Amino acid sequence: MTTTHTTAATEPVPPAIAIAATAVDQQENHVTTGATVWLTGLPSAGKTTIAYELAGRLKAEGHLVEVLDGDEIREFLSAGLGFSREDRHTNVQRVGFLAELLARNGVKALVPVIAPYAESRDAVRRRHQEGGSAYLEVHVATPVEVCSERDVKGLYAKQAAGELSGLTGVDDPYEEPESPDLRIESQHQSVRESAAAVHALLTERGLA
């Protein structure tokens, strides 16, 4: 007697299930410890460039990352605010609120925002402490002479020509952090080295 073995055809996986499975796999590959890294410093200090370099490295390692770019925040979240001390403080608190919200939900929030006043930065740190979210302050301590030479957005040239006033570090105050978690002198190292220094700090604190 001959026994015939029938091989059942493999049924296709419904698209919805396949998409859900992919989403689960992606989530499992993410490192979900959140934190805010606030990069403060003068205009053209290199804050945003370092933030994006760091973001790329963290994303490659599986972290959830968002860069809260100061110019984008001004356009979409703080439209209508000027550059008075009060408006600058309000802007920083809005960014701080958003950063803490992201951090508490497992995202690395990288914030390259000047935040010129110590009072404003301290308020953001307290918000994170009260919410139990990790917060690191990085001072990108590039001297104003170097920043004015870089002049990425042409702000220093406009100020020198009398077309702009209230430029942080020139004719408007910048209160340097007294005890930042990390101080970077970007004029002495590459962008990659600066980002690596911040990454090393995250690793040291158990956040990367």
- Residue 62 makes CB contacts below 8 A (sequence gap 6+) with 29, 30, 31
Known binding site for ATP: residues? Answer: 41-48
Asked whether 99 and 59 are in contact (CB, 8 A), the reply is: no
Q: Under a CB-based contact definition with an 8 Å cutoff, are residues 170 and 135 in contact?
A: no
As given in the structure block, the two tokens for residue 92 are 């920083």
Q: How is residue 182 annotated by DSSP? A: E
- Spatial distance between the Cα atoms of 135 and 124, rounded to a whole number of angstroms: 9
Determine how many CB atoms are found less than 10 A away from the CB of residue 96.
26
CA–CA gap between residue 63 and residue 65 (Å, rounded): 6
Q: Please give the annotated binding residues, written as ranges.
A: 41-48
Q: In this structure, are residues 41 and 139 in contact, taking their beta carbons and an 8 Å threshold?
A: yes
Q: How far apart are CA 145 and CA 128, in angstroms?
A: 33
3-state SS assignment for residue 10: coil
Q: Record the tokens describing residue 95, joined without a space.
A: 């960014």
